[in-house]
């Protein structure tokens, strides 16, 4: 078997598809670079992984939680030791710059350490009883088998922040990474196994969402589904799995605004918005896609923004000095270019970018110019729909109230930020903005792993947050105990 063909992992063993079929994992900055090949599993193979996870679950649940945590902490150390190599691989596979990739890999280290220590702190509650000689308390129990389905844009951090709370609570996992980025997902699973995770506790399956993913959603032996991805697939999962007794958490898209008030430090605001809109090539669910600027400072904002964005060097993320990598694939590139055309047709004014990049540095990859539209109005599709690329829409508001109204006038509610020196306006924003992540004088992107994460409105479904201690609530069920003595 060719060295670049990697296996899935089922029951701790290498697993290939029965018919030997594979799919290719391509470097989006240089499409003749095949990073790896992975098995194209069938639905039956995915069902087998679920059976194996079911068999392993009771023993894992009875392993003391601090011991489960010890394995997570050890895996954190392995990932930290190998961070440079993992970051390079992540850049090659997904396209983000090396600095962005390193930040993401180190996020995994924090997540594993945080949830590893939670092995000592899987607390219930203790309360007084209304009856004499009685104690009331609650304990947490695992749910059973969890399906974890993840997107390509944070292909090591998102699986880690789902797996770690699932595992520490005593669940077993079947994990399906996105088909653009299976190798970094494989490396994560491999680190956990090298840290001592028993066979069958974490199983990795690769293949199409429509078959392998669908099995992870519909199989009756699955007790919980944690999915991050697009609104369309999330809605489909809700329709198919919503009727039965399975716990579901869906983290979906965003259309995140940054509001710029007239009392702000403009240089800082521009820098933060550039980071939010064009960092990670705009391919973050929390990316800034709308800058809502007070009329009185809008000309200055636009001038400074254009000057700054013109200096962004787009290229292969492995190259020193490159600030923005490619988009992940041809389909995503075409979707972004289609949205740029939609913006033009709708009458928005293109002030920068808008084209696919060609030429020696770019001809082999999926590169697009950082793009800015102005005169965008709330009825336009580019003001409403998630583009998931480096495209920023500038909208003008005549006052603070109108800025908040514009910010809220979308069906999503993931992240939002405001730039102001006024504490009262900042607090007003915190209370009126419809978003699960709210930032003051900070970019919409960037999360800390011990804070709860999740959106409002159509950005999330399931209500229980990811990350932080809140994540334990999703991956466990509570038993209420009445003890009389």
User: Which residues of the shown chain bind ligand NAD in the complex (CB under 6 A)?
Assistant: 149-154, 176, 178-179, 209-210, 213-214, 217, 228-230, 233, 236, 251-254, 285, 386, 388, 414, 455, 459
CA distance 174 to 197: 14
Whether residue 285 lies in the annotated active site = yes
Contact at 8 Å (CB) between 192 and 162? no
CA distance 210 to 236: 11
Shortest approach of ligand NAD to residue 247 CB, angstroms? Answer: 16
Q: Which residue is catalytic, options 93, 285, 332, 369?
A: 285
Shortest approach of ligand NAD to residue 363 CB, angstroms? Answer: 24
Closer residue to ligand NAD, CB minimum distance, 27 or 228: 228
Q: Render the burial of 379-410: b for 16+ CB within 10 Å, e for the rest.
A: ebebbebbbbbbbbbbbbbeebeebbebbbbb
Shortest approach of ligand NAD to residue 157 CB, angstroms? Answer: 9
Name the residue number minimizing CB distance to ligand NAD.
209
Shortest approach of ligand NAD to residue 387 CB, angstroms? Answer: 10
The H-or-E segment that residue 172 falls in is strand 172-176
Q: Given the DSSP bridges, would you call strands 412-413 and 456-457 parallel, antiparallel or unpaired?
A: antiparallel
User: CB burial class (10 A; 0-12, 13-18, 19+) of residue 131?
Assistant: exposed
CA distance 402 to 432: 12
Shortest approach of ligand NAD to residue 398 CB, angstroms? Answer: 30
CA distance 222 to 240: 13
Closer residue to ligand NAD, CB minimum distance, 94 or 302: 94
Q: Which residue is catalytic, options 100, 215, 251, 369?
A: 251
CA 50-78-153 angle, 5° bins: 60
Structure tokens of 59?
Answer: 């023993």
Shortest approach of ligand NAD to residue 301 CB, angstroms? Answer: 26
Closer residue to ligand NAD, CB minimum distance, 157 or 298: 157
Contact at 8 Å (CB) between 50 and 222? yes
Whether residue 8 lies in the annotated active site = no
Of 213, 92, 218, 75, which is closest to residue 151 (Cα–Cα)?
213
Closer residue to ligand NAD, CB minimum distance, 25 or 251: 251
Closer residue to ligand NAD, CB minimum distance, 151 or 276: 151
Closer residue to ligand NAD, CB minimum distance, 57 or 283: 283
**Which amino acids are annotated catalytic?**
251, 285
């Amino acid at each position: 078997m060719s060295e670049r063909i990697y296996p899935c992992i089922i029951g701790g063993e290498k697993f290939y598809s029965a018919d030997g079929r594979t799919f290719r994992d391509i470097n989006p900055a240089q499409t003749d670079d095949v990073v790896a090949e992975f098995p194209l599993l069938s639905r039956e193979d995915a069902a087998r992984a679920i059976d194996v996870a079911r068999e392993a679950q009771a023993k894992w649940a009875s392993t003391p939680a601090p011991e489960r945590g010890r394995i997570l902490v050890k895996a954190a150390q392995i990932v930290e030791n190998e961070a440079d190599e993992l970051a390079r691989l992540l850049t090659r596979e997904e396209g983000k710059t090396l600095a962005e990739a390193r930040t993401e890999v180190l996020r995994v280290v924090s997540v594993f350490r945080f949830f590893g220590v939670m092995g000592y702190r899987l607390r219930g509650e203790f309360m007084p009883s209304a009856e004499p000689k009685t104690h009331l308390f609650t304990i947490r129990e695992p749910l059973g088998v969890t399906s974890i389905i993840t997107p390509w844009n944070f292909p090591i951090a998102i699986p880690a922040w789902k797996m770690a709370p699932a595992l520490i609570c005593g669940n077993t996992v079947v994990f399906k990474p996105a088909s653009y980025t299976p190798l970094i997902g494989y490396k994560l699973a491999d680190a956990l196994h090298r840290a001592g995770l028993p066979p069958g506790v974490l199983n990795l399956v690769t293949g199409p969402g429509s078959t392998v993913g669908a099995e992870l959603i519909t199989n009756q032996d699955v007790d919980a589904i944690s999915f991050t991805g697009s609104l369309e697939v999330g809605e489909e999962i809700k329709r198919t799995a919503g009727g039965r007794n399975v716990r579901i958490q869906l983290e979906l898209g965003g259309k995140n605004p940054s509001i710029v008030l007239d009392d702000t430090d403009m240089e800082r605001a521009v820098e933060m918005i550039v980071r939010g809109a064009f960092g990670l090539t705009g391919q973050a669910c929390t990316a800034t896609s709308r800058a809502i600027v007070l009329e009185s400072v809008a000309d200055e904002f636009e001038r400074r923004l254009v000057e700054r964005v013109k200096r962004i060097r787009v290229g292969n993320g492995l190259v020193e000095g490159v600030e923005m990598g490619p988009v992940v694939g041809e389909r995503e590139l075409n979707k972004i270019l289609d949205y740029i055309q939609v913006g033009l047709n709708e009458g928005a004014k293109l002030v920068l970018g808008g084209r696919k990049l060609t030429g020696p540095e770019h001809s082999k990859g999926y590169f697009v110019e950082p793009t800015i539209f102005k005169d965008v109005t709330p009825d336009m599709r580019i003001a409403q729909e998630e583009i998931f690329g480096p495209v920023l829409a500038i909208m003008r508001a005549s006052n603070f109230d109108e800025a908040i109204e514009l910010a809220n006038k979308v069906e999503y509610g993931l992240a939002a930020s405001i730039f102001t020196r006024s504490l009262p306006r900042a607090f007003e924003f915190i209370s009126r903005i419809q978003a699960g992540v709210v930032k003051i004088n900070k970019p919409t992107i960037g999360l800390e792993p011990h804070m709860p994460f999740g959106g409002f409105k159509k950005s999330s479904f399931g209500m229980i947050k990811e990350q932080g201690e809140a994540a334990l609530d999703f991956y466990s069920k509570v038993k209420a105990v009445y003890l009389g003595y």
